[in-house]
Chains A and B, each alone.
Chain A
Amino acid sequence: MTTTTAPRTDSADAPRREADSAGGATLNVFSHAFLVLWVVLAAGPLVWVALTALRPSVEILSDPMGWPTSFHWENFTHAWTTANIGQYAINSLIILAGSLTGTMLLGSMAAYVIARFTFPGNRLIFMLFAGGMMFPVILALVPLFAVMENFGLLDTRPGLMIAYIAYSLPFTVFFLTSFFRTLPTGVQEAAMVDGASHTRTFFQIMLPMAKPGLVSIGIFNFLGQWNQYLLPLLLNNEEESRYVLPQGLASLAVSQGYRGDWGALFAGLTIAMLPVLVVYAVFQRQVQAGLTAGALK
């Protein structure tokens, strides 16, 4: 019977155990070595970008591996003003303010109705939303361009926001529907009995109860929309002053090559990456949970 706890107790076969744990120790060193190696590979390029952002452009070209000798903060001011990173960041923020609010509001409204009410077509509407996750966006690319043009929404901010909202809805509705289904029905009924309208029950009772789900999907959509590249490339390509951050950096990578101002490009990349990484570091658990939930749809 002692065998069941053998790995935990120091029993008669101590020599064997010792050898075993010595082997385990070497393996541990190995596994740590591999794990650390990937830390270097995963973070290395990003750290390199941040360090290089502090060096003058001439040095970057002659010795890409060098350390910053003196801090060239002017790279950052160049990036922010001459290379327009500031403008791009503001554009991104404006778009995100509208699109994220819209996505969360419309997504939770649709999900609540689908999850908590029985009506003809309920199942069909749910399948319609859920099915949208299976299709690659690139398939809709060309017709979407034409639809936006017909509505006069091409190269406008509302147009881009609407596109973000529409393409975020499938997963948002899918995720929140299953979340609303898990909430207890009693509270909703109690609110109705107390005379609260459907709308009021939703905004004052159900939404606060759904907060954990809203946070997860909110972070998912925040990152997805902040990082969006394909939709702005298609729908917001007319004016350079209207570019969002990823778009701006991609075009900067080309134009800074002509100007030879590599320092500003690296500084721009740092400005774009740092806030997202900080937000991620703070909310790491929710971010990891939210983003991996996307794969298990």
Chain B
Amino acid sequence: MSEAGRSGVKTDTRVDDSPPSKKAQDRAGGRKSPNRLLFLLAVLLPPRFTPESVRYDRRYRTLDKYRFIAGFLSLPLAFYALFVISPFIQAIYYSFTDWSGGPVANFIGFDNFTKMWNDERFWDSLEVSVTLAIVAPLITLVLGMFFAYMITSGGRHRKGRAIAGVAGSSFYKVVYFFPQVLSVAIIAVVWGRVFNTNSGLINGGLDKLGIDGPAWLGGDRGLALIAVMAVLSWSFVGFYVVLFSAAMGAIPKDIYEAALLDGAGRGRTFFSVTLPLIFDTVRTGWIYMGIQALDSFAIVLVMVPEHVLKVTPVFLYERFRDGQYGYATSIGVVLLVLSMAFSLIVMRIGNRDRIEY
């Protein structure tokens, strides 16, 4: 309050004596400029101690601007450069060395990559990661689109409109989104219990039906892969329901009315109207989900026992724990190349003219 009051007072006085101050500026411009020492002083001192003769000089304005820019940018940029950019650049450099954590890192060319090429454990982990990156987006996006379409158009005949949401659409979206606000580590612990062989929710349910449930995470790679895929899709379906229903909601109603008049059923409307119109969002979502699947680390590390199944990021983490730093970073570089390749391929697949509406 007092701050605002003071500034108000200041404003008034400044407005009052604005003609003199303008004169002062002219004087400063026409006469000799204030000396350099004063400028230097003005830059170092807080703004309120800036001498009058310097304050209205045009060069001081510029100086003041750059001082402000430098002051505001230096700390964020320093943090970012030191702890984000520099590790990324170092990672690429170290991937060509035999670094093991100490001060010595010898350049060894592509040795890490040839080692990876011949490392069966790497290929095993990559097989899982690539399967996840291909299948998980498919399941997740199809389910997300299905539920989003149900939510945005399920009430079509109820209200006698061409398009209408189901009753309680926001409730569905809220519940579906639950997994997105939880930590992946917690999700992994919860699902680890759900998939537990003897005391898990799934096998407990199967037991009630008289079926002896399998050991989901107990040793079989295929079953563990299904479990990881299920958890990954489970945690992202809600995200895509929200994303896609927002995109679907942006489609004008008259397009749906026209489709209805032409006799299009719900399925036809979806494939001929809705899907093409939200295609950009779907493609973005596809890339995002593929990268999420390729990078999935915590779910596998926490939920799946290490002898059963590994994804490439977990393999990388284990090499880091072994002290094979150079080798670990080279695996990271391969992951980066893979995720970039994945994005490029998906962009190519869906490259088409954008429909404006």
A173 within 8 A of B: yes
Contacts of B85 in A (CB 8 A): 128, 132
Given contacts A65-B201, A132-B84, contact A291 B180 (CB under 8 A): yes
CA of A250 to CA of B87, assembled, Å: 27
Give chain B nearest CB distance to A129 CB in angstroms: 7
CB-nearest residue of chain B relative to A223? B181
- Are B76's CB and A110's CB within 8 A? yes
Give chain B nearest CB distance to A61 CB in angstroms: 5
Contacts of A28 in B (CB 8 A): 154-155, 157-158, 166
B184 within 8 A of A: yes
Stretch at the interface among A42-50, A75-83, A181-189, A210-218: A42-50
CB-nearest residue of chain B relative to A272? B186
Give chain B nearest CB distance to A240 CB in angstroms: 15
A41 within 8 A of B: yes
For chain A, residues 29 to 59, give those with C-beta under 8 angstroms from any C-beta of chain B: 31-32, 34-35, 38-39, 41-46, 48-49
- Are B156's CB and A109's CB within 8 A? no
CA of A170 to CA of B79, assembled, Å: 11
A69 within 8 A of B: no
CA of A173 to CA of B73, assembled, Å: 11
Contacts of A162 in B (CB 8 A): 79, 83
Contacts of A65 in B (CB 8 A): 201, 204-205, 207-208
CB-nearest residue of chain B relative to A39? B175
Contacts of B166 in A (CB 8 A): 28, 31-32, 35
Contacts of B83 in A (CB 8 A): 144, 147-148, 162-163, 166-167
For chain A, residues 150 to 167, give those with C-beta under 8 angstroms from any C-beta of chain B: 162-163, 165-167
Stretch at the interface among B114-122, B131-139, B191-199, B346-354: B191-199
Stretch at the interface among B32-40, B143-151, B221-229: B143-151
Task: Pick the residue among B80, B246, B288, B325 that contacts A128 (CB under 8 A).
Answer: B80
Contacts of B237 in A (CB 8 A): 38, 42
Contacts of B73 in A (CB 8 A): 109-110, 113-114, 125
- Are B335's CB and A139's CB within 8 A? yes
- Are B194's CB and A292's CB within 8 A? no
- Are A288's CB and B101's CB within 8 A? no
- Are A147's CB and B86's CB within 8 A? yes
B160 within 8 A of A: yes
Give chain B nearest CB distance to A203 CB in angstroms: 10
A140 within 8 A of B: yes
Given contacts A20-B157, A195-B14, A295-B285, contact A253 B147 (CB under 8 A): no
Task: Pick the residue among B151, B179, B336 that contacts A35 (CB under 8 A).
Answer: B151
For chain A, residues 131 to 149, give those with C-beta under 8 angstroms from any C-beta of chain B: 132, 135-148
- Are A48's CB and B201's CB within 8 A? yes
Give chain B nearest CB distance to A202 CB in angstroms: 8
B111 within 8 A of A: no
With contacts defined as CB atoms under 8 Å apart, how many contacts are there between chain A and chain B in the complex?
Answer: 302
CA of A142 to CA of B181, assembled, Å: 28
Given contacts A7-B257, A48-B194, A246-B185, contact A195 B11 (CB under 8 A): yes
Given contacts A7-B260, A291-B239, contact A276 B84 (CB under 8 A): no
Contacts of A197 in B (CB 8 A): 47, 64, 68
Number of interface residues of A (CB under 8 A): 106
CA of A24 to CA of B172, assembled, Å: 20
CA of A19 to CA of B348, assembled, Å: 44
- Are B182's CB and A276's CB within 8 A? yes
Given contacts A197-B47, A284-B177, A292-B246, contact A167 B84 (CB under 8 A): yes
- Are A143's CB and B94's CB within 8 A? yes
CA of A277 to CA of B187, assembled, Å: 13
For chain A, residues 172 to 203, give those with C-beta under 8 angstroms from any C-beta of chain B: 173, 194-199, 202
CA of A14 to CA of B54, assembled, Å: 84
B242 within 8 A of A: yes
Give chain B nearest CB distance to A182 CB in angstroms: 19
Contacts of B157 in A (CB 8 A): 20-21, 23-25, 27-28
CB-nearest residue of chain B relative to A195? B14
Interface centre among B87, B90, B94, B176 (most CB of A within 10 A): B87
Give chain A nearest CB distance to B13 CB in angstroms: 9
- Write out, one digit per residue, whether chain A residues 55-76 have a CB within 8 A of any chain B CB (1) or not (0): 0000011111100000000000
CA of A166 to CA of B182, assembled, Å: 22
CA of A197 to CA of B11, assembled, Å: 13
CA of A227 to CA of B65, assembled, Å: 39
Contacts of A24 in B (CB 8 A): 156-158
For chain B, residues 278 to 312, give those with C-beta under 8 angstroms from any C-beta of chain A: 281, 284-285, 288, 291, 294-295, 297-298, 302
- Are A60's CB and B87's CB within 8 A? no
Contacts of A113 in B (CB 8 A): 68-69, 72-73
12 new A-B pairs (CB below 8 Å) besides A141-B317, A277-B182, A287-B181? Answer: A35-B172, A42-B234, A64-B196, A132-B85, A147-B83, A197-B64, A202-B72, A226-B183, A246-B184, A277-B178, A292-B246, A296-B281
The 25 listed contacts between A and B (C-beta, < 8 Å) are: A4-B261, A38-B172, A38-B176, A42-B178, A42-B179, A64-B204, A109-B72, A110-B76, A113-B72, A117-B65, A125-B77, A129-B80, A138-B335, A139-B336, A140-B332, A143-B88, A163-B83, A227-B181, A227-B182, A269-B186, A281-B174, A284-B174, A288-B242, A292-B239, A296-B281
